[in-house]
Structure 1
């Protein structure tokens, strides 16, 4: 049979994160001692009270369909979370529960974009942003966040990128892959440009609970009533409550957009998994002690590993303020070890040093690599030692 795939699928770029994880697993299955620093998920199990709530829901027979936009009780819990954490008030018609924050983003772009519409995406970016925009017929417009500016874009850069075709601007704070955070002042300046030019703000806040030092998470939607109206918040329980596999995220914002997303979801996924929704209710309404315990563990790992990483020849790195990634520039390290580019350097790290990291080319910055510190401190220290040994030995030879 001749297979003819749709053009929109053939144009997709495979996820570099999943690709490197798959390659590392393949080597592990062959008996190789590979340390994987590619995965973007906490290494802790889902907290026990959440697991218990899921089991209880199943035992009580809550295993049937739910409304496409999610259980009313879960919407209420999300509304309570947004009120408590950001001081924002939403009604149930302004909330949709999705099969993960990624699905919330995908559905949003499907209902928002027509062929040729533009979405402004700062670089470095999470790998799925441009692919989801392209799947909706849109065009990603990249704005370069310079390393010297902590990878943050300026209001002038944003304004220069806006055209009559611009529909949305994505802001991800804390950022995947850099871990940097936009301050309230920086967000307000960007938001004022979007208000002036009538550009929808898509605020991905999935890492909001993972912040270190004196910084605080600020949602752009909480800075003014006008910005709240102009913003769709994307969030979920994956990173905050170590629930990546449960696939529960949400979007909060304009009622008309949320209604369109709900209509689309009714014809695509029917509803988010019922058991996972009851687990998410427990996540948002139960004890948050485990969230803080995980945050402290990540903060401790960062403090220990960062200094070791930047001591490697040819490595420079903006110190992250949130999430659980380090995003060093390793262009010089690639050069001194005899590699033509960072992608080949990453491949050599995996094959020779048995350390799996993600090349920055997938995030729009080919001179960087992403390392996740969502693994044990012992494994992290061993991985960084391997990388340093690899670089120093190649440098001498």
Structure 2
């Protein structure tokens, strides 16, 4: 086992190596050339690098090349051939195979998908504002429940599993040789919108009462949270949603059995939930283990995650939380501002009530998030 001072030294050396790769991702990096950057012998460098990163330096080179290529492909003007060449791939076919292995889709499919995702919106959201303040911002991909891929039944309905996605992202960032050394582990926060708001409450230690939520949704009091619009995108191999628990797979049943477990991530020190959903999945015992600061923010005109059964219910169960309501704002007001030519096609997401300035709401929400995290995660 390495002494802390020795490990810090090695991690600094590894960070220099990663920076060298990022400066010239398409260059012919060899074990010998990168060992020289770290001022270590190739043999010793190989052993230290794998021990501290969990992968070989060759694997890091390929991963960083492909990550940068993916970032460049979000630029509509960048051609796949040019991006492949700049990433060090002389043959587009070789690049396409490697890229598919890295992202799950071909470069052309990735580029087309990014174009579709980018088209409706413009503006600046809270994550960008936090990044501008110097925060390292990372987002989780929730399999089966993301705009970039088809919605699946399990991905959408097994919401308690989402916290594990976020924890895996955090673990990956902390282990990353480039990002990890720059993270202050005592100043890690989590923020989420809608179902993401529920997810960050899980990270804080909240426990789900699935049976209570299902009882609510079969009662006369059931409201819009029981029939979210995103449910229309759910699909699976059969194309038909199950009607009874008997139709569920063994894996789904096992997940339901652990829905009330704690998904607390001790690395997270404060959470901000924006328009949090699934308030009826929490009961009087759900927040017994929540000891970190919590901020709750929502729009007063939210009818998608109705305020009475969601943010106000959560606030009532979590009296120490900081709560703020935005007059006139609805659920989707917190999503990015839509471009003018798509507003009519995405009216449910893009249109706000009279007098609501979505950009102004975003600015206020970003300001509140920055102030909250600055107060609860102060610089040391």
Measured against the shorter chain, the TM-score band is under 0.3
- TM-score in terms of structure 2 length: 0.26
More strand by share: 1
| Larger relative contact order (Cα-Cα within 8 Å, sequence gap ≥ 6) | 1
- TM-score in terms of structure 1 length: 0.25
Bigger Rg, which one: 2
